[in-house]
Structure 1
Amino acid sequence: MQQEIFDFIEFMHVKAARLAMSSKQNPALLREDALAADWNRPEEDEAWASYQ
């Protein structure tokens, strides 16, 4: 019985981690919107054109 409880707790941790990674609560995803104004400029396209 104790092992089942531990397994369930581990399952809940994994589920919560997956939810956090796929949601907008992920800080990396939030930064993407904030930085898009700087990234999506003609000057940036020109600067990175040689790397494509």
Structure 2
Amino acid sequence: MKHLVKGRYGRWSYATRQGKAHHQMENAFACVEVDELGAQLRSLAFP
């Protein structure tokens, strides 16, 4: 499952919950913060 994460420079990208961003704490927290928002964005972008 992929979801939106906000990177260090404000870039939005996709990462798996236990994937590449797992070792980056800021991305891990961002995954949690935007998890619900990401779901809404995906429902709009990928109906």
Q: Which has the higher contact order (CA 8 A, sep 6+)?
A: 2
Higher Rg of the two aligned structures: 1
Report the structure, 1 or 2, having the larger strand content: 2
Shorter-chain TM-score above 0.5: no
> TM-score, normalized by length of structure 1?
0.29
Report the structure, 1 or 2, having the larger helix content: 1
